[in-house]
Amino acid sequence: MSERPLEAPEQYPLADLDEWEALLRERYPQPGEKSSFRDYGTDVRPAVREFYRLNHRHQTLDFVRAKERQYLDRNHRVMGIWEAMEFLNTLVDDSDPDTELTQIEHLMQAAEAIRTDGHPRWFILTGLIHDLGKILCLFGEPQWAVVGDTFPVGCRYSDKVVFPEFFQENPDSNVADYQTECGIYELGCGLDRVHMSWGHDEYLYHVVKDHLPEEGLAMIRYHSFYAAHREGAYTHLMNEPDGRRMEWVRAFNPYDLYSKGHEPPDVEALRPYYEDLIAEFFPAKLAW
Ligand SMILES: [Fe+2]
């Protein structure tokens, strides 16, 4: 199954989902590496700009509420974690299959990097599963409703969100109640009460929220919220626990951005270790 259905090709500007993550690595290079990212206007491929334009144009509060109604009952599939990894692996894209790693290989690279650094088992497991929400693509969702930096909807947009100028095209820009600093929320209400733009973070959080410690859940739910965890925006919506959650997200972020190299892990050799780890935290089947 392709992530770029033949119908509505304009909804799928990216050659693959990794194109968004490649842009993140340019924006946030490893410590000691120089950013090659200078100007959104000239440095960014037109397809990536178009992807962000669609994302910022269409992620309205109404859209997010509709997706929450559609997905948070979790009546789309019943699968175990390993089964979901294999399902995500059926997502093929337009890039060269000889040079690109599979989705399972990407997930294992992140998990293995966390394991190498001696982190706890729940942290390793979080690395393994953190992108499984990308199966939204296989349910027919367009790229801009699966990946991309996430941001709160229903309140004023921060100029710390990448490509803030594209928010002018979002109909919510013309709703006065949504454009005060806190919008429909209250100062310090906590991110749990805030509707985030819809994507793979929020979806997976709801699938796994009864099974991982809150540190891992924060990493999953906010790993694409770069305006907050890398740029320090939106603190006025956060409560005290959210401050700690952002610390955990920051601890996770290097494994998300920098562990995905070109050397594929030996999936079959590692599989027994990860099947044990999954069974330690998760039931055999989950509702997706
Ligand atoms: Fe992700």
User: Concatenated DSSP letters for 175-207?
Assistant: -GGGSSSSTTS-TT--GGGSPBPPSHHHHHHHH
Distance 5 CA to ligand 1 centre (A): 21
Distance 216 CA to ligand 1 centre (A): 13
Q: How many residues does the chain have?
A: 288
For residue 256, the number of C-alpha atoms closer than 13 Å in the C-beta half-sphere is 24
SS3 78: strand
pTM value is 0.93
Distance 220 CA to ligand 1 centre (A): 8
Distance 176 CA to ligand 1 centre (A): 32
Distance 126 CA to ligand 1 centre (A): 11
Distance 214 CA to ligand 1 centre (A): 18
Q: Two tokens at 125?
A: 């497991």
Distance 229 CA to ligand 1 centre (A): 14
Distance 174 CA to ligand 1 centre (A): 30
What is the C-alpha separation between 284 and 281, in angstroms, rounded? 10
Question: Could you tell me which residues come within 8 angstroms of residue 108 by beta carbon, excluding any fewer than 6 positions away?
Answer: 128, 265, 267, 270, 274
**Alpha-carbon dihedral sign for residues 71, 73, 74, 78:** negative
Residue pLDDT tens, the chain, 288 long = 555 555 677 888 888 888 888 888 888 988 877 766 655 556 788 899 999 999 999 999 999 999 999 999 999 999 999 999 999 999 876 555 556 788 999 999 999 999 999 999 999 999 999 999 999 999 999 999 999 999 999 999 999 999 999 999 999 999 999 999 999 999 999 999 999 999 999 999 999 999 999 999 999 999 999 999 999 999 999 999 999 999 999 999 999 999 877 788 999 999 999 999 999 999 999 999
Distance 147 CA to ligand 1 centre (A): 7
Distance 92 CA to ligand 1 centre (A): 17
